[in-house]
Structure 1
Amino acid sequence: MKSRILLLSLASVTAAHAQADKFPPMPAVQAQTPQQAAKSFELPPGYRMELVLSEPEITDPVVTAFDGNGRMFVAEMRTYMQDIDGNNQRKTASRISLHTDTNGDGTYDKHTVFVDNLMLPRMILPLGKGQIVVNETDSLDLYLYTDTNDDGVSDKKELWWAGGPRGGNLEHQPSGLVWAIDNGIYTTYNSFRLRWTPNGIKKEETKANDGQWGLNQDDLGNLYYVNAGGEKGPISFQAPVVYGMFNPQDQFADGFTELFPAVGVRDFQGGLGKVREPEGTLKSFSSGAGIEVFRGDQLPSELLGDVFFGEPVGRLVRRAKVSNNGGLKVLSNPYQEQKSEFLRSKDLCFRPINMTTAPDGTLYITDMYRGIIQEAAWVNPGSYLRKVVEQYQFDKVIGHGRIWRLVHTSTQKVKPPRMFDEPTAQLATHLASPNGWWRDTAQRLLILRQDKSVVPLLEKVAKQHKSPLTRLHALWTLQGLDAVTPELVRAKMADTDPGVRAGAIRVSETLFRKGDASFQKDIEKLAKDPDPNVALQACMTAKYLAWPDHMKLVSDTVLNSTAKGVKEIGATLMLPPGQKLTEYSDKERVVLKKGEEIYSTLCASCHGQNGLGLEIAGMKGHMLAPPLGGSKTININPKGGIYVLLKGLQGDIDNKKYEGLMISMASNDDEWIASVLSYVRNNFGNHGTFVSPSDVAQARKDTESRSSPWTYQELHAQLPQVIPSNKLKVTASHNGGEANRAIDGSAESRYTTNKFMEPGMWFQIELDAETPVIGLVLDTSGSANDYPRGYEVTVSKDGQEWSQPVAKGDSKNAITEISLDGTPKKFIRITQLGSAPGNFWSIHELRVLADPKK
């Protein structure tokens, strides 16, 4: 489902309209028959799309789900955008249909309406025989519908969980309802999960997830969300969101967000800025929908564990390979070099919005098949998108819908499940299925039955089965039956498979919360596990359980690890509540990557991979080189690091002796020096601006007469001096009583306007005497999006009459560095010039820099 938050500035929208001021009539887009549409698909050799269902049996399908007997439920949003203005969308005329393969030949030959007269149903969770849980738009309530007489039509409705009303645009509401391997039931948007118990549904808090339309899990229970509104694609998949929302900048391979559709007519929210010319196709993520980790057994094994999600605006399905770099998951497009996608169509009405691993071991793709895929708020009168819709008459293609089955020449027919009819012990055997759908469904049904007679069998399976995934499912099933024992959990913490060891750590949380704190020692031991995924899970569990001094375990593990995932996700774990890591542009990420390569191959041998310096072997307390994390030389001003790399450094550093000597790196070019310093200034707990090659070039000129290494004292005599906070008095136009929080020496506290950014907000500094100020640094790394959206600086002698702007700029990241001319100043005022709905203007740390030579 297409969903976008309007992020363009007025200027960019105006520019887009100016470029597209003429929309000549074009041939109206026509709906193709399913047979015609099937010919439009482009797939790798050996793959093809088979039609499962289409209109008139279904229209406007959005979700597909299967019950324990393989029957398929389809949520149909039959009122979604039936005209260009979206009239009557909230009319209760949508439904959930049920489709049954009565003879096991792979064809759904019986069709009934299971639930009718719904308002835009968006989530389905099959439970026991004849039962589904349903959620409708504008509500968080979940209702249980039951078919008591087995005629394919529900005749009983019960409130399953009371969530209350939910407002907002219909595209900005939850989806999912995924019963994950940890027996939590997850949705997008909501910062909580639900848990079924024999005594009712429990609500448990989680962290935010930033997901939108689509949610799924991998074999180990890591959830994959997808975000369309922010054009982000897959998101929050590094670890379960109960531990936090982790989105490291390098979780995507280079170029991953670039798309390669087969066709396009420039019908993209965002206008011409999203268009690849001259083809007219969508060039980067605009929407994202229906994410699925493929876990079936009737497609080639090369697809196992791959992530699939729809880009309905681009008429394609992205396949993403998942690699693991020291605990960090990295997604890549395997067709990047060919500038292609796994599945794409030339049919302008192909709208893939959901993916489902099916009981038959293939991948089902839900195709909403329609002209308009954007809700009315984005097709309003006068908008760029409305003109394109009218130009091609997209609004006329309604009343369709298809469900496709992705198959391969190697695909074989599979006997459909009959789990509801099986005894409990036989049901448990499906935990060993090669198809993830069977394992997940069997686990869910075992827990819903609450038949404890199966516990000894599950314990045996958890201990002895040859498949790690089967052992893991058995362990989690016991947890869901409230039958897991400390002895079994400890045995699984020593399992030969790291995925099982990490799972056992998670299962131990259940026992820990029941009062068995003895698991703390086991988890502390596993924080040193050689597998970074296990060590990382130990850190996440430690923070989640929050036992005394848990952060010492986290920090020790993170700082002593060289694994990329442990370092990057661990850095987020160590942040105070509410703080986020800084986000970088694609260009900055390239610089950081080059800097990391330089640091790892050269600098780490003295300063350590974690930036904390290295102790000389056999000489306790003797360090080879100083730590770079928190270094005044590195952090106060970019010149510090540049001067050291150009000339070297010798002698004591801040009154401490080090055995090594920092030699000059001046023989490397300006880009080399800028890259490694940019990396160091943005890692190891540091948050600084990037160093540019031109900064290095200027520093070469400034220091060309020097031939010897600096001493620490000489170096800092050349650098800007931070004026102590006791010589400053600060106030602000908004929430001025909290202004001192910007100069209290703590990055964990912050001054904030407590009001969304708007032009004219100011922050004022009064010095105790006129001082030659040469710069200001506004650091808001702890709330990375709260930087000023444009600024100007004025000065005054009396705080009454103000100068014309002496500095002006447009900050783009969490560190705002402002250069001033060094003339004496008494009053300085920074005025915020832009607007940022949803973000306050904040300052975690303000540094006022004086000229060291005056």
Structure 2
Amino acid sequence: MIKIKGVFAALLLAKLLLGAATAVVAQSFNGDRDGHKMVDVVAKSDIPPAPVLSPEQAVKSFLLQPGFTIDVVANEPQVFSPVAIAFDAKGGIWVAEMTTYMPDVRGTGEMQAKGSIALLEDTDGDGKVDRRQVLLDNLLLPRTVSVVHGGIFYADHNSLYFAEVLRQDGNIRLGVHDKVDPSYAQSGSVEHKANGMLYNMDGWYYNAKSDQRYKTLSLQAEVPAGAEEIYRNRYWKLVRAATDYRGQWGITHDDYGRLYHNGNSSPIHGEYLLPGSLLRNPGFWPDMPAHSIGDNRVYPARMTPGVNRGYMDGVLISDGDNKGKLVNFTAASASVVYRGSNLPARFYGAGLTPEPAANLISARQIIEGHGELNGENLFDQQELLASTDERFRPVALANAPDGSVYIVDMYHGILQHKDFLTSYLAEQIKDRKLDENNNTMGRIYRLRWQERTLAPIANLLELSDKDLVPLLTHKNAWHRDTARRLLVQTQAVNTASDIRKLLMKSDPSDMAQAYAQTSLLWTLYGLNAVDLATVKRFIEAPSPQVAMTAAAVGEALPAKDHKAYKNLLLTLAKTGYPQALQAAISVAAVDGGHKVSRYVLDQYRQLPYVREAVISGLGAESKAFLASIDGQYPDQEIMDILAGLGKKRQDASNRENLTASGQAFYDAGKALYHGRAACAGCHGAHGKGVPGLGPTFWGSQWLANKEKLAKVLLHGLRGPIWVGQEYWNTAAVMPGFATREDMSDGDLAAIAVYIRNSWGNSVSPDSVFTAEDIANTRSATASRNTPYTEREL
């Protein structure tokens, strides 16, 4: 055998394995699909124009529910193409400006580094920004900004950075400027990259489109188990750890620290348990389900034919008074759980979701169910806010320092990225001149209740640690969250006794104070100042969420208190479900908590999450638990999980069992899955699926049949479908790769090999896909021009 070495060999092998790109008919735009009849549902002459409106004109375009009003907080030239905001401790608005995003239908110049991070301030107190200071410019598509002690975090198209903010005489300047995580947003297209950096109740920063979380610790602190230190400066060190993969654009939380996110075709989703609850056992990693809050319907104020697949049946209303209006969400963006003090009580805790493709903001009541979160629209077949201005693009919402809701309006004619844009949408854009005047405008609005005064915006930077403590119980969440962040990130341990006194004075039976009690409990946790007496008092609270929070923060109790803590957890478990769930999870923090685990299983095992919570809470003590029950428990599902602990991850990849050529395909497919093909955007980095987007690959029967899988890769798949015992009914449609000129038959074969040999899937070495397999299916299905359905396959 002749051995060829070096780079030439690698290139030759790749070419032989992947094959030349199959010739396809050139398409005008990446989103086009052969055979799709891109006909207009509405005659262009019937569609209202979309001129650029001044801020004053734009305000008049809003249709609001009675009682609401809207103010302009900032507009050009104070802000340009904003995509994310964060409030600092003075109430200043840090804004990420993506000023090169899709200036035209081809995205000309988009990859030029011309974005900015700016600070917007209202210096005269009239409620409108009058000062703009740019801290960072010449950035490539900045997408995230978040405040941290000493400065800000921000992310560009690829990486996460820390920028030190130095203040003097009312001005700011840049100090230390470091890249802290070069891999933060490496994979995916512009629409499918990590974003968020939400500072949560537990002190971790969580992200959408990501399975990574970050936390600042004092320089002397011990790195938590499962985390790694990735950066340090003179203020703190930063650690990173794995978490559940979640969401697409935007992330928010409620008063108890539960996370909410969305998919583009579905609005807000909520997690019933605290983040990381099911990840305590190193050999066990179930998905953290995210429950849909309400349905997917939208009710625009104007015709909305300018959506990417507006020509397809069912996307737009085809007749009647609402002809041409979008039926369901297609571009859900950064939601917020409203936690402010300005709107009436009935709106507190509601989920608000912007839909920039339909120029509206939707409102849903979040309802606590039995083992799930669900919800319903607050307004029957109406929205909280809808605009007749097609350029109104609300991409993010935020709870504001004054108790209102701030709306981030990119004010951009083009919303869909070029990686997915269709000729149909390009024509719609051109027809209404939505490709003009982009990247030079932007607005931030305040949505408030007209008859209520706004909360004063305090400068928390000027307050002492002691003066911050009362703000931990403020009615407006911004004050609570900001005070907690300042105290925890500066490790103001001198305030622990004052916080404890304030907490112990409150009445655990006062359900109206639940938000304040959880805020105080999490602050003690962040200061490493949790004590047994406090945990005992509030673990008995009638509010399930307060009791569960007390159990969660009790995990930080010192070893001398563990015996008493285990007894408290058992008492908590006896108060009912869902408290028993938290007891089963929190027992992971101590040794020998099998009595708690066994009780929860015996009493509640048929209820949602119980088996998962118990197995997670066993941590590394699974063998000891088996021994405590004589190696058998009268529930086969539990025994199967215990028997499989540690094996799934070990067997997740079948690469080592493939031939040399199969391994080369596998490696190429992995790179494509996470990169150019952007499969991870909808199916998750670890193949677990993303609610509202794409189904899981774990245990998927769709991978077994080569011909069916080739058909799906080429032409796509439309739900609903069953994957094993799971029912996936997502509004998103997988479009297929048949007409992608940048995806060869060899590329698709490589993706098939990767997903068929990852995440617990395995095929025999002689069953590896080849470029010829894809080519044969391509030829046999040449007339196909629409995605398959489950029934067809």
For normalisation by structure 1, the TM-score amounts to 0.64
The answer on 1:308 being equivalent to 2:352 is yes
> Match for residue 44 of structure 1?
65
Structure 1 227/418 Cα, relative in aligned 2: closer, same or farther at 3 Å? Answer: same
Rounded Cα–Cα distance in structure 1 between residues aligned with 2:699 and 2:611: 15
The answer on 1:339 being equivalent to 2:381 is yes
> Match for residue 522 of structure 1?
567
> Match for residue 257 of structure 1?
296
Deviates more, 1:81-90 or 1:401-410: 81-90
Which of 199, 204, 214 is equivalent to 1:179?
Answer: 199
> Match for residue 153 of structure 2?
134
How much has 1:405 moved relative to structure 2? 0.6
Q: Are the equivalent residues in 1 in contact too, given 2:484–2:523 (CA < 8 A)?
A: yes
Task: Show CA shifts across 1:205-236 (max 9, x none).
Answer: 343232121111111111112222xx233235
AA aligned opposite 1:392: R
Rounded Cα–Cα distance in structure 1 between residues aligned with 2:571 and 2:600: 10
Q: Which runs of 5+ in 1 are unaligned?
A: 1-9, 578-626, 631-682, 687-733, 739-752, 758-779, 794-809, 817-832, 847-854
> Match for residue 390 of structure 1?
430
> Match for residue 577 of structure 2?
532
Map of 1:703-782 to 2, 5 A cutoff?
none
Q: Are the equivalent residues in 2 in contact too, given 1:17–1:384 (CA < 8 A)?
A: no
Rounded Cα–Cα distance in structure 1 between residues aligned with 2:524 and 2:217: 13
Rounded Cα–Cα distance in structure 2 between residues aligned with 1:464 and 1:317: 40
Q: Are the equivalent residues in 2 in contact too, given 1:30–1:397 (CA < 8 A)?
A: no
Rounded Cα–Cα distance in structure 2 between residues aligned with 1:122 and 1:737: 40
Structure 1 844/837 Cα, relative in aligned 2: closer, same or farther at 3 Å? Answer: closer
AA aligned opposite 1:108: V
Deviates more, 1:199-208 or 1:303-312: 199-208
> Match for residue 240 of structure 1?
274
> Match for residue 484 of structure 1?
530
The answer on 1:72 being equivalent to 2:76 is no
> Match for residue 361 of structure 1?
403
> Match for residue 445 of structure 1?
486
> Match for residue 51 of structure 2?
30
Rounded Cα–Cα distance in structure 2 between residues aligned with 1:812 and 1:575: 29
The answer on 1:197 being equivalent to 2:217 is yes
How much has 1:843 moved relative to structure 2? 9.2
Structure 1 835/457 Cα, relative in aligned 2: closer, same or farther at 3 Å? Answer: closer
Structure 1 531/37 Cα, relative in aligned 2: closer, same or farther at 3 Å? Answer: farther
Rounded Cα–Cα distance in structure 2 between residues aligned with 1:534 and 1:74: 40
Structure 1 387/443 Cα, relative in aligned 2: closer, same or farther at 3 Å? Answer: same
SS of equivalent residue, structure 2 residue 487:
helix
How much has 1:15 moved relative to structure 2? 5.4
How much has 1:471 moved relative to structure 2? 2.7
Rounded Cα–Cα distance in structure 1 between residues aligned with 2:608 and 2:529: 36
Rounded Cα–Cα distance in structure 2 between residues aligned with 1:498 and 1:282: 40
AA aligned opposite 1:358: A
Structure 1 322/40 Cα, relative in aligned 2: closer, same or farther at 3 Å? Answer: same
Rounded Cα–Cα distance in structure 2 between residues aligned with 1:11 and 1:138: 22
Structure 1 463/277 Cα, relative in aligned 2: closer, same or farther at 3 Å? Answer: same
Rounded Cα–Cα distance in structure 1 between residues aligned with 2:205 and 2:616: 27
Structure 1 515/839 Cα, relative in aligned 2: closer, same or farther at 3 Å? Answer: farther
AA aligned opposite 1:264: M
> Match for residue 263 of structure 2?
227
Which of 372, 375, 382 is equivalent to 2:417?
Answer: 375
Rounded Cα–Cα distance in structure 1 between residues aligned with 2:103 and 2:696: 45
The answer on 1:813 being equivalent to 2:725 is no
Structure 1 434/270 Cα, relative in aligned 2: closer, same or farther at 3 Å? Answer: same
AA aligned opposite 1:205: A
Structure 1 527/246 Cα, relative in aligned 2: closer, same or farther at 3 Å? Answer: farther
**Count of residues in Structure 1 that have an aligned counterpart in Structure 2:** 609
SS of equivalent residue, structure 1 residue 469:
helix
AA aligned opposite 2:702: Y
SS of equivalent residue, structure 1 residue 261:
coil
How much has 1:573 moved relative to structure 2? 4.3
How much has 1:791 moved relative to structure 2? 8.0
Higher relative contact order (CA 8 A, sep 6+): 2
Q: Are the equivalent residues in 2 in contact too, given 1:527–1:557 (CA < 8 A)?
A: no
Task: Show CA shifts across 1:750-796 (max 9, x none).
Answer: xxx99989xxxxxxxxxxxxxxxxxxxxxx99925443587899xxx
AA aligned opposite 1:560: Q
For normalisation by structure 2, the TM-score amounts to 0.68
Structure 1 329/558 Cα, relative in aligned 2: closer, same or farther at 3 Å? Answer: farther
Q: Are the equivalent residues in 2 in contact too, given 1:789–1:811 (CA < 8 A)?
A: no
How much has 1:43 moved relative to structure 2? 1.8
> Match for residue 710 of structure 1?
none
Deviates more, 1:514-523 or 1:466-475: 514-523
How much has 1:319 moved relative to structure 2? 0.9
SS of equivalent residue, structure 2 residue 243:
coil
How much has 1:243 moved relative to structure 2? 2.1
> Match for residue 581 of structure 1?
none
AA aligned opposite 1:82: P
> Match for residue 516 of structure 2?
470
Identical positions, percent: 24
The answer on 1:212 being equivalent to 2:231 is no
> Match for residue 605 of structure 1?
none
Structure 1 404/735 Cα, relative in aligned 2: closer, same or farther at 3 Å? Answer: closer
Rounded Cα–Cα distance in structure 1 between residues aligned with 2:565 and 2:344: 42
Bigger Rg, which one = 1
SS of equivalent residue, structure 2 residue 609:
helix
Q: Are the equivalent residues in 2 in contact too, given 1:539–1:557 (CA < 8 A)?
A: yes
Rounded Cα–Cα distance in structure 2 between residues aligned with 1:113 and 1:811: 47
Which of 86, 90, 94 is equivalent to 2:107?
Answer: 86
Structure 1 49/490 Cα, relative in aligned 2: closer, same or farther at 3 Å? Answer: same
Rounded Cα–Cα distance in structure 2 between residues aligned with 1:404 and 1:11: 33
Structure 1 362/246 Cα, relative in aligned 2: closer, same or farther at 3 Å? Answer: farther
AA aligned opposite 1:314: A
Structural RMSD (CA)? 4.1
Task: Show CA shifts across 1:152-178 (max 9, x none).
Answer: 332313327344464231221121111
How much has 1:402 moved relative to structure 2? 0.8
> Match for residue 776 of structure 2?
none
AA aligned opposite 2:517: R
AA aligned opposite 1:391: D
Structure 1 419/812 Cα, relative in aligned 2: closer, same or farther at 3 Å? Answer: closer
SS of equivalent residue, structure 1 residue 473:
helix
The answer on 1:409 being equivalent to 2:450 is yes
> Match for residue 282 of structure 1?
326
Map of 1:528-567 to 2, 5 A cutoff?
528-542=573-587, 545=589, 557=600, 560-561=603-604, 567=607
Deviates more, 1:317-326 or 1:235-244: 235-244
Q: Are the equivalent residues in 2 in contact too, given 1:527–1:553 (CA < 8 A)?
A: no
Structure 1 182/21 Cα, relative in aligned 2: closer, same or farther at 3 Å? Answer: closer
SS of equivalent residue, structure 1 residue 238:
coil
Q: Are the equivalent residues in 2 in contact too, given 1:327–1:536 (CA < 8 A)?
A: no
Q: Are the equivalent residues in 1 in contact too, given 2:216–2:238 (CA < 8 A)?
A: yes
Rounded Cα–Cα distance in structure 1 between residues aligned with 2:159 and 2:750: 36
SS of equivalent residue, structure 2 residue 77:
coil
Q: Are the equivalent residues in 1 in contact too, given 2:81–2:442 (CA < 8 A)?
A: yes
Deviates more, 1:515-524 or 1:67-76: 515-524
> Match for residue 840 of structure 1?
756
Deviates more, 1:519-528 or 1:342-351: 519-528
Structure 1 756/114 Cα, relative in aligned 2: closer, same or farther at 3 Å? Answer: closer
Which of 115, 121, 137 is equivalent to 1:116?
Answer: 137
AA aligned opposite 2:272: Q
Q: Are the equivalent residues in 2 in contact too, given 1:224–1:236 (CA < 8 A)?
A: yes
Q: Are the equivalent residues in 1 in contact too, given 2:398–2:406 (CA < 8 A)?
A: yes
